[in-house]
Amino acid sequence: MMYHRLLLLFALCAGILGAADRATTRQEIIQVERAFNQYCIDHGRAAGWMEFIADHAYLMNRKTVGREEARASFVGEADDGSLTWTPSYADVSVSGDLGYSWGIWVSKGNGPDGNPAERRGIYLTIWRRQSDGHWKFVFDGGRPLADDVIASIHQSLKDHPAADYALPVATPTDAATLRKQLTEFDLAFSNEAVTQGQRGAFLSRLADEVLLLDRGVRTRAAAAGYMEKEGDSKATSWAPFLVDVSAAGDLAYVCGEWVFKGPGADGKPAEATGVYSAIWKRQADGTWKLVFDNGRAFPRDVIDRIKQRLTLTL
C-alpha cells in the first residue's frame, strides 16, 4: 500500500528529529490516522483495527488490553462504516518513536426513537513506531461531546495553536528510569491535589495548549476559568498503572485509575472510580507539562481486570 511505502521512507530518518523532520513526522501521523479510518471504511471496522493495532494496545473505551481482546470485542458488532473520524492535531517526540493525534469522531445509527441519529465526540490515539518503521496505535480512547463544545475546542486550536519547539538533545536516560520518574511525578501530582486542592495542582502543571477533554476546554487560560467556576476540591486521587516515555524523554503518556471520595449529589458520603489518560510534554525549561487529559467512570472490577491484564501483557 502507498502509505506503507511512505512510512518506510519516513522511517529512514533516525535519531533526533529537527524542526522540519518533526513537522514531516506529524503529518505522517495524520496520514496514518486517515489511512486507518479509510481502511475501516473499505474493509470493515474489525479488520481495520487489527491492521493498525499494536500487540499490547490498551483500548480505554472498549476496556480491552492486547490484540486478541480487542478482536473479540468486535464480535457481534455492526461492521457497516457507521463510525468515522478525522484527525485535527498531532504531535511527535523529537526521537520520532512516540506520537499522538486527536480529532472528531462521528457515529451514525438510530436513536432510542428508532430515527436516524448522530453522536459526535473527540478521540485520542497514541502511536508507537514499530521496529519495521510502521506506526501502530498503543492506546485509543475518547468521549462524546456536544457540538458546541467540539466547535469551541477547534476554534481554540485556530486561535491559539500549540507552540512548535523541541528540546536540545540531552544525555540519554534508560526507559525504565524514565518510566519510574514519570510514575513518581504523577503520584506527587495526585498527592498535591488531595492535600492542597485540585485547582492549584492542575494549573501549575498545565501547558498553554492543554486539552482537558473531560472538561471540554482547551488552553490553560480556559481551564483556569472552568476550574474557577468548578470550585476547588480535595476529593479525587489517582495513581498510574501504565507509563510510557519516548526515547528522547520529551513526550510521555500515562494511564491510571482515579478515586473520588466525597459528598454525593444528596450530600451523603459517596465514592466513584474510573480511569484516566494523560499526555505529558517536556517544556523548553525541562519541566513536564500536561497537554492532554481525559477521564471516564468505570466500576472497580473493570479497573482491576484492566490492571491485571496490563501486568500480564506488557
pLDDT of residue 312: 73
Query: Which parts of the chain fold into alpha helices (H)?
Result: 2-10, 19-43, 45-52, 67-73, 147-159, 175-196, 198-203, 220-230, 300-313
pLDDT of residue 86: 97
pLDDT of residue 164: 76
Tell whether 165 is covered by a domain: no
Cα-to-chain-centroid distance, residue 138:
10
Q: Looking at the structure, tell me whether residues 100 and 218 fall in a common domain.
A: no
pLDDT, one tens digit per residue, over 256-273 is: 999 999 887 787 888 999
Tell whether 166 is covered by a domain: no
Q: Looking at the structure, tell me whether residues 106 and 222 fall in a common domain.
A: no
Q: Looking at the structure, tell me whether residues 185 and 150 fall in a common domain.
A: no
Average pLDDT, integer, range 96-111: 91
Give the residue with greater pLDDT, 308 vs 311.
Answer: 308
Q: Looking at the structure, tell me whether residues 238 and 182 fall in a common domain.
A: yes
pLDDT of residue 230: 87
pLDDT of residue 1: 41
Within 10 angstroms of residue 190's Cβ, the number of other Cβ atoms is: 19
End residue of a domain, out of 111, 131, 159? 159
* Residue 9: pLDDT over 50: no
Number of domains in the chain: 2
pLDDT of residue 231: 83
Q: Looking at the structure, tell me whether residues 49 and 194 fall in a common domain.
A: no
Q: Looking at the structure, tell me whether residues 154 and 179 fall in a common domain.
A: no
pLDDT of residue 113: 73
Q: Looking at the structure, tell me whether residues 184 and 96 fall in a common domain.
A: no
Tell whether 170 is covered by a domain: no
Tell whether 280 is covered by a domain: yes
Q: Looking at the structure, tell me whether residues 97 and 67 fall in a common domain.
A: yes
Name the average pLDDT for the chain: 89
Q: Cell triple for residue 182?
A: 514519570
Q: What is the 3-state secondary structure (H, E, C) of 192-240?
A: HHHHHCHHHHHHCCEEEEEEECCCCEECHHHHHHHHHHHCCCCCEEEEE
Question: CA-to-CA distance for 190 and 196, rounded, in angstroms?
Answer: 10
pLDDT of residue 29: 97
Question: CA-to-CA distance for 26 and 29, rounded, in angstroms?
Answer: 5
End residue of a domain, out of 159, 185, 203? 159
pLDDT of residue 5: 36
* Residue 11: pLDDT over 80: no
Q: Are 170 and 242 in contact (CB under 8 A)?
A: no
Q: Looking at the structure, tell me whether residues 212 and 281 fall in a common domain.
A: yes
pLDDT band at 167 (very low <50, low <70, confident <90, very high): low
Residue 276 pairs in a beta bridge with 256, 295
Q: Looking at the structure, tell me whether residues 152 and 179 fall in a common domain.
A: no
pLDDT, one tens digit per residue, over 215-246 is: 999 999 999 999 999 888 899 999 999 999 99
- Over the range 9-38, which residues count as b (16 or more CB within 10 Å of their CB) and which as e? ebbebeebbeeebbeebbebbbbbbbbbbe
pLDDT of residue 20: 66
Task: Name, in order, each residue with C-beta under 8 angstroms of 125's C-beta and a sequence gap of 6 or more.
Answer: 33, 36, 100, 101, 102, 137, 139, 140
Q: Looking at the structure, tell me whether residues 212 and 70 fall in a common domain.
A: no
Tell whether 284 is covered by a domain: yes
- Can you give the residue range of the structural domain that contains 183? 175-313
* Residue 169: pLDDT over 70: no
Q: Cell triple for residue 148?
A: 458546541
Which phi and psi (to 5°) does residue 33 adopt? -60, -45
Question: CA-to-CA distance for 47 and 79, rounded, in angstroms?
Answer: 9
Tell whether 209 is covered by a domain: yes
Tell whether 168 is covered by a domain: no
End residue of a domain, out of 107, 128, 159? 159
Q: Looking at the structure, tell me whether residues 199 and 144 fall in a common domain.
A: no
Question: CA-to-CA distance for 197 and 208, rounded, in angstroms?
Answer: 20
pLDDT, one tens digit per residue, over 44-94 is: 999 999 999 999 999 999 999 999 999 999 998 877 668 999 999 999 999
CATH of the domain at 51: 3.10.450.50
Residue 252 pairs in a beta bridge with 245, 280
Tell whether 205 is covered by a domain: yes
